[in-house]
Structure 1
Amino acid sequence: MKIILSRKGFDSSAGRVASPIFPSGEMCSLPIPEPASTATNQSKRYAEISFGNCSLGTVVDDLTQGKITGDRMAHLDPDLSYDSIDRQANWKPVFGQSGAAERHLQNCNVQEGDVFVFYGWFRQVEQCAGRYRYVRGAPDLHIIFGWLQIERRIAVDKRWEIPAWALYHPHCNPKRTRTKYSDLDSIYIATDDLKLPNIAINKPGAGVFHRFDPALCLTAPGRSRSWWQLPGWFYPGAEKAGLSYHSDVSRWTQGESHVLLHSAGRGQEFVFDCQEYPEALAWLSDLLCLSRDT
């Protein structure tokens, strides 16, 4: 089994602000904007996407200071929460990838049973005069916010294989189809239940972490968000392929119980194999225990 650390949500180029950690400790990854050129009547506006009792339209409008409004179309991907929009029957969580990032997943032989662990840029927010704003001095953090275990991958040029309930997904949008990239645009559909080798766990095949926990934070204390503190077993060995995009050992610093990693700025999908890192299975299981059942 492979685990893929997958960077998603608002970033410095798409959205340009951090996703929020609310005063309650709840957190929500903000999906990046959908370009107007690829929006369709199936695209969802931020105002149509729910987070608890709140509309994401209000959140993005406040945090971007009106640069992105609730009327803007969102690229809802990964789509992990049943309650975020109205659903068709038989819906399952789904994630799409394309271009160089999809080629990397294929080159790494990512397949059924492998698990995406989604992370993104987060920061604490507060409400002032009824509007959300970032807490002054609050750190920028890379935080794990969700997961998806792969039941099947479907190349979107094989449209006849895509379930009817999934045709709303932005990667199934005909406006995106470009012949030279058709074999490098795929959706990944989640399993119903998560299955880990030799570990009993009662969790769905995909979901989100609703509440911040320090164990979900990749960023090392006191560091910029791209500097990660990871368990010591992550350190690359001579006989291991290691974490993709991070084979340069100068990125890694060993400590007593942890390693410090200067994570790569390029690339969205960082892959490693649990056969090389068997400790990763217990690590993932412990993380998933932080999620509430949905």
Structure 2
Amino acid sequence: MKIILSRKGFDSGSGGCPSPIFPDGRLQSLPIPDNDSQIEYGQISLNKSDAMGDIVEQLTRGKYSAQSTAHLDPDLEEDALPRKPGWNPVLGQAGAAQGHLRNNAVEAGDLFLFFGLFRPVIKNRNHWVFDKTQSARHVIWGWLQIGNIIQVTENTSYEQPWLAYHPHLASLSDPNNHLYVATKDLTFEGKATGSSGAGVITHTSELITLTEKNSPKPSIWTLPDWFFPSKERLAMTYHRKLDRWSKRNGKTRLQSTARGQEFILDADQYPEALNWVKEIVQS
């Protein structure tokens, strides 16, 4: 089984700022802007939160608004939009990212852990602003276990009508364009875990925070001790140079790369990863 740490959501390059961590600890990953999408930020429903259109407009200082269109991908929450029958949580991949997944034989049963750049926010004059006393950090915010993989073609919206809305159906020119549909239940080694095959993590915690505590750089990560690679256990992809890795205070420290979206870890070589994922999903 492979675990893919998948970078998704707003950051300095896409969207122009981090996603918010609200004062009560709630996380809200903001989908990146997409001019080809038909989904407006103002159409996306949120649970127990301000409207996404308002959040985006306030945090981007008006660069994007409720009428701006969003690349809602991965799409993990059923109540985020009105749905057609047959909807399932789904992730689109194309271009170099999909090529990397294909070259590493990612398949049904493998699991994506989505992480992104987040920063605490506070209310100022009834508007959300970033807390200047808090730094941005990488946080795991969702997951999807692969049930099946669909190559996007001109027939996909007819064969799978529930997918017609998805941003990856807006462009049919990339033969690398694929959709990863979630399993109903999360299973490891044929055994049900009691969790759904896809979902979001609602509140921040130390467990899901990748960035080292008090680090000014989000790219400095603190991981469990067992994450440390060796000759027998290959480091996750994009991080094969051992000088990126070190040990400190019983933890593994990693200088993560800004390059690449999909970092693949072979859980057959790192069996401890399965319990780690279970803890994250159930947090």
Assess if the C-alpha contact under 8 Å between 1:151 and 1:188 holds in 2: yes
The Cα offsets for residues 233-281 of structure 1, whole Å up to 9 and x where unpaired, read as 1111112232000000010111242111000111000001111000000
Query: Of the candidates 66, 69, 92, which is equivalent to residue 65 of structure 2?
Result: 69
CA distance in 2, matches of 1:93, 1:68: 26
Q: List gaps (5 residues or longer) in structure 1.
A: none
- CA shift for structure 1 position 150: 0.3
Aligned counterpart, 1:169:
166
The Cα offsets for residues 32-83 of structure 1, whole Å up to 9 and x where unpaired, read as 0012xx23xxx11001112115311000000011011111000100000111
User: Matched residue pairs, number?
Assistant: 280
Aligned counterpart, 2:224:
231
Q: Residue 188 of structure 2 aligns to a residue in which SS?
A: coil
Assess if the C-alpha contact under 8 Å between 2:9 and 2:32 holds in 1: yes
Go from structure 1 to structure 2 and tell me whether the alpha carbon gap of 1:194 and 1:238 turns closer, same or farther (over 3 Å shift): same
Higher helix share: 1
| TM-score normalised by the chain length of structure 2 | 0.95
Percent of aligned pairs sharing the same letter: 41
CA distance in 2, matches of 1:214, 1:110: 28
Q: Which amino acid aligns with 1:165?
A: W
| TM-score normalised by the chain length of structure 1 | 0.92
Q: Which amino acid aligns with 1:93?
A: P
Assess if the C-alpha contact under 8 Å between 1:154 and 1:162 holds in 2: no
The 5 Å alignment of 1:1-294 reads 1-35=1-35, 38-39=36-37, 43-53=38-48, 54-157=50-153, 159-160=155-156, 162-173=159-170, 176-178=171-173, 181-182=174-175, 184-197=176-189, 200-223=192-215, 224-290=217-283
Q: List gaps (5 residues or longer) in structure 2.
A: none
The Cα offsets for residues 111-164 of structure 1, whole Å up to 9 and x where unpaired, read as 000000000000001112211111122111100000000001111027348521
CA distance in 1, matches of 2:11, 2:190: 36
CA distance in 2, matches of 1:200, 1:139: 38
Q: Residue 254 of structure 1 aligns to a residue in which SS?
A: strand
CA distance in 2, matches of 1:19, 1:117: 17
CA distance in 2, matches of 1:3, 1:245: 14
Q: Residue 50 of structure 1 aligns to a residue in which SS?
A: coil
Q: Which amino acid aligns with 1:214?
A: E
